[in-house]
Structure formats: structure tokens, C-alpha cells
Amino acid sequence: MRILLVGGNGTIGRKVAAALAGRHELIIAGRNSGDVRVDIGSQDSIAALFNEVGVIDACICTAGTGFYGAFATMTAEQMRPGLDGKLMGQVNLVLIGKGFVREGGSFTLTSGIASELPARNGTAVAMINGAVNSFVLGAAQELGQDRRINAVSPGLVEDSFERYGANFPGYDLVPMAKVVNAYRLSVEGAITGKIVKVY
């Protein structure tokens, strides 16, 4: 398959790329690195990405994050980059990219455990992840039989432990191999409209 992986140099994307590279033609997109550049917060940038890359069999997005911080002082402005990026960035990859994904192809987005078990200070991220999950449920119906779409919802992944582990006490550490498998299940399997929980 010809696969576009947006965020392919991130913590999860790197491992997904390594797992897919041998079997597929992989195009890595990233904000500051990769085969092609994209800022998923910009619709123009996403349109330019697809025009450059052309027809693909699968689009995976492992890019985007959200605000972590004190709820007492949290503002809509702090939430905005996550809304524009991890939420609407992924939505726009689907809305703009669906014409570039072959029949039988798929989208795989990324949400996360916060949608149902938010960490302290993680309400903004919870909101985004819940939104991505429900978007996928709707989009799967609309894409119908022709194109599939799923979300992978990872917990605290091994490779993030050093940086973020202290913020997630009691969250089981998820092996990278298990996370990678979830993306493979979505891309190479037959499921659609699923939230693949990896936690």
C-alpha cells in the first residue's frame, strides 16, 4: 500500500513508521521533518500536502497534542492549539483527504485514554480525544463501504514514560509493539468505525 503517515517522527509515529516501512510505500509528513511538510492546523497546508502526495491507500495521523495545565486558570486560548491541531487537524485530514484515498483505503486517527480516564490537568486533552472518537463514529458511517476510518486510542505509551510518566500515576505502561499493532489493525485489517483502545 501507499501510506501517508502524518506525524511520522513523533513518539508513536516513529514506531509505526518502522513497522510499516518494510511492507509498504511510506510517505512521512511532519511539521519540521519528513518526506513532506505539513502544518495540520492549516487547511491550506493540508490541501497542499494531498496535492503533492497524490492518491494513497491509507492516511494515518499520529500528530497533534493538547494543553495540559491547571484547570483553575485554564482558558479557551490555551485550548485553541489542540482544538485547531489534534482535533480539527485530524478532521481536516479526512474532509480534505477523502478524495485522495482510494476505494478500499482507510484513515487512522489518534485519540487517547483521556477521553474516558483523564489525567489530572488533562481536561483539554480529554475533550479533544472524546471529539476525535465521536467524529470517527460519524465519519465511518458517511464514508460507507468504500473507505474505512478508525481511531487508535493509546494509553501512556512506553516511549513517553520518561517525559510524561510523572503526570500519569497509575496508568499502565503500554508496550510500543501493542500500539503499533493497533495502527496495523486499522490500516491492514477490515475494521471501520472502531475506537481501538490500547490500554
Contact predicate 111/129, CB 8 Å: yes
Of 9 and 121, the one with the shorter C-beta distance to its own copies is 121
Residue 140 Cβ vs its own copies, minimum distance, rounded to whole Å? 9
Looking at the Cβ atoms of 25 and 142, the one nearer to its own copies is 142
Q: Which is nearer to its own copies, 53 or 79 (CB)?
A: 79
Contacts of 47 (CB under 8 A, 6+ apart): 96
Q: Cβ 133 to its own copies, closest distance in Å?
A: 6
Reading the block at residue 20, the C-alpha cell is: 510499516
CA–chain centroid gap for 44, Å, is 19
Report the nearest approach of its own copies to the CB of residue 52 (Å).
Answer: 20
Strand partners, 30: 37
How would DSSP label each residue in 50-67?
HHHH--EEEEEE------
**Residue (95 or 191) nearer to its own copies, CB:** 95
Q: CB 59 → its own copies: shortest distance, Å?
A: 16
Q: Is 181 left (phi over 0), alpha (psi -120 to 50) or beta?
A: alpha
Give dist(CA 18, CA 160) in Å, integer.
17
Nearest approach, Cβ of residue 156 and its own copies (Å): 16
Looking at the Cβ atoms of 22 and 170, the one nearer to its own copies is: 170
Q: Which residues bind its own copies (CB under 8 A)?
A: 43, 71-72, 74-76, 79, 83, 87-88, 91-92, 95, 114-118, 120-135, 137-139, 141-143
Task: In angstroms, give the least distance from the CB of 49 to its own copies.
Answer: 15
Q: Which residue, 35 or 84, has its beta carbon nearer to its own copies?
A: 84
Q: Which residues contact 75 (CB under 8 A, 6 or more apart)?
A: none
Q: Is residue 12 within 8 Å of residue 110, measured between CB atoms?
A: yes
Cα angle 123, 124, 130; round to 5: 85
Which cell numbers hold the place of 11? 513518539
